[in-house]
Amino acid sequence: MAILNLKKNKVASEKVAKKTVKAVKATKVSVVKPKTNMAVGLGLSHVDASSIIVRPRITEKPAILSEKQGRMVCVFEVTKKANARNVSLAVQVLYKVVPVKVAVLRVPPKKSFVRGHISYGKTAYKAYVYLQAGDKIELA
């Protein structure tokens, strides 16, 4: 004796579920999406990208790194909340180049000693963007 006919209900619901799964599989349609920029597809627009990257830092160190490694290295000042993924997407949107590697670093503030008091400057953040051997970004 089954209590409240639970076994019958389970078997009946499994049969109905199998039939609906077969019906869903038959109605699948493949949709071909046009190729778009990966960064725009992930939701980063041109305005967002320019708010992540503040300005390029043009110094000798990236030039030395580029010669040593055989690929282009660019350095940008970025906002405090920027991470490597956001910087990578911003470079893709602004410069149309896909970076191989991105490293975000904190630049410590400068100390100044005036009239017996120590004061500190602002903490800055910079990002090293490593590109493939053939890619280039024109900075200044």
Whole-number pLDDT of residue 35? 44
Whole-number pLDDT of residue 134? 87
Strand intervals (E) in the chain: 53-56, 73-78, 101-107, 111-114, 117-120, 124-130
CB distance 57 to 120 below 8 Å? no
Distance, in Å, from the CA atom of 85 to the CA atom of 94, rounded to the nearest integer, reads: 14
CB distance 140 to 58 below 8 Å? yes
Tokens at residue 11, please? 């078997």
Distance, in Å, from the CA atom of 103 to the CA atom of 93, rounded to the nearest integer, reads: 18
Whole-number pLDDT of residue 22? 57
**Long-range contacts, stretch 61-67, CB < 8 angstroms, 24+ apart:** 62/128, 65/128
Query: Residue 137 region, left (φ>0) first, then alpha (ψ -120 to 50), else beta?
Result: beta
Residue by residue, pLDDT tens for the chain (140 residues) are: 556 666 666 666 666 666 655 554 555 555 554 444 555 556 677 778 889 999 999 999 988 998 898 889 999 999 999 999 999 999 999 999 999 999 999 999 999 999 999 999 989 999 999 999 888 888 76
Whole-number pLDDT of residue 34? 44
The topology (CATH level 3) of 38-135 is: Alpha-Beta Plaits (3.30.70)
pTM of the predicted structure, to 2 decimals = 0.66
Each domain of the chain, given as residue ranges in start order, spans 38-135
Q: Name 106's bridge partners.
A: 125
How many Cα neighbours within 13 Å face the side chain of 79? 11
